[in-house]
Amino acid sequence: MLKMKLLAAGAALAMAAGLGGLATSAQAQAQAPAAATAAKPTPAEARAFIAKAETDLARLSEYVNKAAWVRATYITEDTQWLEAKASSEITDMATRLAIDAARFDGVVLDGVTRRKLDILKRALVAPAPQRPGAADEMATIASRLDSTYSTGKFAYKGKQITLNDAEDILAESRDPEELKAVWEGWRSISPGMRDDYARLVAMSNEGSVALGYKDTGALWRSGYDMDPDAFAAETDRLWKQIEPFYKNLHCYVRARLNEKYGDSVQPRTGPIRADLLGNMWAQQWGNIYPIVAPKSTTPSYSLDKLLVDADYDATKMVKTGEAFYVSMGLAPLPDTFWTRSQIVRPEGREVVCHASAWDLDDADDIRIKMCTKVNAEDFYVVHHELGHNFYQRAYKDQSFIFRGGANDGFHEAIGDFIGLSALTPTYLKQIGLLDEAPGPEGDIPFLLKMALDKIAFMPFGLLVDRWRWEVFSGELTPAQYNDGWWALRTKYQGIVPPGPRPQDAFDPGAKYHVPGNVPYTRYFLAHIYQFQFQRAACKQAGWKGPLHRCSIYGDKVVGARFNAMMEMGQSKPWPEALEAFSGETRTDASAVAEYFKPLNIWLTKQNKGQKCGW
């Protein structure tokens, strides 16, 4: 996993390691004069440098991945120590390599070597300053933040409850007092993280500046084969394409919540109360489908219920996910996947429950780590995580530096794309979960359910890093972290907290990827790519119906083409990977529009006479 974080574009959910990067001062001094005075290096030297870097990184990353895995699946003082030690070692190495890579800046090189050098330079997610002890300090803080989040518990109704318990209450309860209490309870864990987080930000900024970036936000934006500022503008452009759909959905959902809870809980105008949306972060709203379901249609199925009724357990969910990929002609997962993965929350020890996919040896040792529940949400997450694993296995024969996603959004989009088929009623019927797939009258209910997850997610997917970009640039100081967070939550999502936030609140820290230091724009991009993949795949499959009803289950032709794209890893700029599969070279939300078109028309009708927006 560390390698994932180290080589940012490769990231499955990258775990703790990979933070920081330190050339000790002795090392840095040894290099500086060499860089300044040596004769211009030759292309042969550049190739030798890359070859050695790949060997060294591969060797060290397996050890770091194992330390990270053990800490994530068995959180103790000791495993945190071991992970931090390993992590600081590899960031030492990676920083040294990033600095060294710059020596070849003016050298005319073959494309492969040039690209590998470029990737090396931006490989760290949180580079450390070049002074003794800095990488150690950062790695220790990073491991502590991730562990504090993952072991967080708070008192509710006289019991200590976990995030998993709290998420269930947010999903199922319709009592606004209870929702508020649990929502606020989970946010009592994060205030203690703020100082650690601020320290990590300051140190990683120092490290980024030393590597030639304006700040760590600029480093993160540099991973998309274009200028960092152009990338920021690109995300603006994409959001503008999606914003009208989101506002339509927001307007409709707000009206239904107002009907359900009354003006005193959810006013008819203005932002939506964040704890009423069925999810701890109001990032996917599918859990409140029963509240917002169209009144006129006959009740549709609930995937939550279908899974329980069919006696699914966690392993069966993962087996079902695997079977989808296999149906497309991909090889089954190796036996070690089943013996080494963490599929359910283990008893008697603390673990990181936030789902992730791992590739420990950059070859065959792929695993997932989940605390799987038998419900619709985790049915989606299982397909999502396996997407990471199938991608990792597809590009394993690339050289080390190219083993990663075309960009990090691609890595997140693979499983989501498969999920778009796996959630269709047609497919659920094919695998025996559903007796009868609804006819066209089921389209609006189905699309509404999908939009509650996919369209609702997009502003959240965008704003998490908008916030971090402001944090890294210094636009937000630690004292302003929380207010700045809510300003963005209201601006993009149109939501507000259920009550005033305490002085010491650090609500961004209540979202995994902030203490976990995992960049988030990848998920925003993935929510667009997955629909582009789907549009292309369905065309290849000869599908003539509406895009949202298409399932590519069992299609080996699509599978082969998709695998060919995955096999490229990050050996080529991402537009080439996109083109290889879809024929398109740009990120384009028009596929999202096409998929949801009937729903958007329907929502517009429902919203007639409403004052939308907030």
User: Annotated catalytic, 523?
Assistant: yes
User: Annotated catalytic, 548?
Assistant: no
Residue choice 356, 375, 389, 600 for contact with ligand X8Z (CB under 6 A): 356
Contact between 355 and ligand X8Z by CB under 6 A: the answer reads yes
User: Annotated catalytic, 411?
Assistant: no
Residues 6+ apart with CB under 8 A from 149: 189, 190, 193, 509, 512, 515, 516
Nearest residue by C-beta to Zn ion? 412
Min CB(52)–ligand X8Z separation in Å: 31
Rounded Cα gap, residues 74 and 352, in angstroms: 8
Min CB(356)–ligand X8Z separation in Å: 6
User: Annotated catalytic, 89?
Assistant: no
Residues 6+ apart with CB under 8 A from 308: 374
User: Annotated catalytic, 505?
Assistant: no
Nearest residue by C-beta to ligand X8Z? 13
Check: CB of residue 385 under 8 Å from CB of residue 359. Answer: no
Residues 6+ apart with CB under 8 A from 558: 328, 537, 540, 541, 552
User: Annotated catalytic, 412?
Assistant: yes
Residues that contact ligand X8Z, how many (by CB under 6 A): 7
Residues 6+ apart with CB under 8 A from 480: none
- Provide the residue count of the chain: 614
For the segment 82-111, give every residue that binds ligand X8Z (CB under 6 A): none
Rounded Cα gap, residues 458 and 479, in angstroms: 27
For the segment 4-33, give every residue that binds ligand X8Z (CB under 6 A): 13
Contact between 80 and ligand X8Z by CB under 6 A: the answer reads no
User: Annotated catalytic, 383?
Assistant: no
Rounded Cα gap, residues 208 and 97, in angstroms: 14
| Whole-number Cα distances in Å, 219 to 24, 46, 236 | 21, 23, 18
Strands in 295-369 per DSSP E: 356-359, 366-369
Q: Which of 388, 411, 527, 548 is catalytic?
A: 388
Contact between 572 and ligand X8Z by CB under 6 A: the answer reads no
Q: Which is nearer to ligand X8Z, 187 or 384 (CB)?
A: 384
Contact between 145 and ligand X8Z by CB under 6 A: the answer reads no
Q: What is residue 290's three-state secondary structure?
A: helix
Q: What is residue 572's three-state secondary structure?
A: coil
Looking up tokens 């920081």, which residue turns up?
20
Burial of residue 611 (CB within 10 Å: 0-12, 13-18, 19+) is exposed
Residue choice 6, 282, 381, 394 for contact with ligand X8Z (CB under 6 A): 381
Min CB(3)–ligand X8Z separation in Å: 15
Min CB(412)–Zn ion separation in Å: 5
Q: Which of 383, 384, 411, 548 is catalytic?
A: 384
Residue choice 245, 523, 524, 595 for contact with ligand X8Z (CB under 6 A): 523
Q: Which is nearer to ligand X8Z, 190 or 283 (CB)?
A: 283
CA atoms within 13 Å, Cβ hemisphere of 385: 31
Q: Which is nearer to ligand X8Z, 62 or 167 (CB)?
A: 167
Q: Which of 252, 380, 395, 523 is catalytic?
A: 523
Dihedral angle over CA of 114, 115, 117, 120, nearest 10: 180
Min CB(513)–Zn ion separation in Å: 10
Min CB(481)–Zn ion separation in Å: 25
Q: Which is nearer to Zn ion, 385 or 443 (CB)?
A: 385
- Residues annotated as part of the active site: 354-355, 384-385, 388, 412, 513, 523
Q: By CB under 6 A, name the binding residues for ligand X8Z.
A: 13, 283, 355-356, 381, 384, 523
Q: By CB under 5 A, name the binding residues for Zn ion.
A: 13, 412
